[in-house]
Structure 1
Amino acid sequence: MTKKLAQLLFFIYILGLVWLVLFKLSFHPFAFLEMTNTRSLNLTPLAMSGGRREVLFNILAFIPFGILLTMNAPKISFLNKLAISILLSFSFESLQYLLAIGATDITDLITNSLGALLGISFYYLLIKVFSKAKVDLILTISFTILLIFTIIFIRQSIVLGTVRV
């Protein structure tokens, strides 16, 4: 049961990440793509174009990716998990550039990858201290609760009119 729920959570998380990174939480992604025509490329690492807050947000947004990837793919090596994380971030940044939907920034690639690395490392640290089954159960419950609160928050934001549908 825990394994299936962890897989579902990973799938939902990936969809949420796509919605966040590519569509900037727009409820009308195709309209968003039509309205957005911004293409920029920053290849200067840590130029801090979005500021420290954006750097921290990027790291925090990708920590769950590292955790969920490691939970769902225990047989993949640490380096391959890191490579998958970097590839995902690179794909997001490339798509932003190709679709002209925002800034493509090397700092985002670095910070997203760092967040995933922290998530992977955190999971490995937890299973060194506790059993894998216990860690998986606690993390799956935690992510499920977080997902429920996120859905409630989004719904409440729509009802209060702070988010346009």
Structure 2
Amino acid sequence: MLESKKTTRYVFYVYLMLLTWGILFKFETNPEFIAFFLAPRYINWIPFSEPLIVDGKIVFAEMLFNLISFIPLGVCFPLIKTNLSSLRIVGTGFLISLLFECLQYILAIGITDITDLTLNTLGVCEAY
């Protein structure tokens, strides 16, 4: 049992590193391309008000990514911390998502968006 929990913890840490790379650096390794994402600080406070529109069509891929990317958190975290209530699990997912959104704002990487926060938290709920 202890070995299984260790493995889950290891997978969880790898997941958090990949999540950080994906959210903050958009899975890029080229510093010049990362610099492209540096933008003026902006916060979108209105949920679902600014979907990505390409050729006049709404692209749901980014919203789907936000939802799916936090599902592993809802799966792994309760396995590591078995004594937490549902509210604490979802609250932790919310706080981790909020941390990423704040980092995006502070580092001026991407756009800080309430929609991302909402969908990330729903991803944790969906998994748990």
Give TM-score, length-normalised by structure 2: 0.84
Tell me which of the two structures has the higher relative contact order, counting C-alpha pairs closer than 8 angstroms and 6 or more residues apart. Answer: 2
CA distance in 1, matches of 2:37, 2:62: 20
Q: Deviations for 1:38-83, whole angstroms, at most 9, x for unmatched residues? A: 1321111111423422111211111111101111111111111111
Equivalent residue, structure 2, for 1:97: 105
Tell me the residue number matched to 2:16.
14
Q: Provide structure 1 residue ranges, at least 5 long, that are not aligned to the other structure.
A: 121-165
Separation of aligned partners in 2, 1:72 and 1:28: 34
User: CA separation in 2, counterparts of 1:25 and 1:36?
Assistant: 12
Considering fraction of residues, name the structure with more helix.
Answer: 1
Aligned equivalents of 2:9 and 2:61: distance in 1? 30
Aligned length: 119
CA RMSD of aligned residues (A): 1.7
Query: Do structure 1's residue 107 and structure 2's residue 115 form an aligned pair?
Result: yes
Measure, in 2, the Cα distance between the counterparts of 1:61 and 1:33: 20
Residue 71 of structure 2 contacts residue 123 of structure 2 at CA under 8 Å; is this kept in 1? Answer: yes
Matches of residues 130-149 of structure 1 in structure 2 within 5 Å?
none
Displaced runs of 4 or more, over 4 A: 31-35
TM (normalized to structure 1)?
0.67
SS in 2 for 1:101: coil
Which protein is bigger by CA-based radius of gyration?
1
Q: Distance in 1 between matches of 2:81 and 2:112?
A: 29
Question: What do the CA deviations read for 1:9-51 (whole angstroms, capped 9, x no partner)?
Answer: 000000000000011112256x666554213211111114234
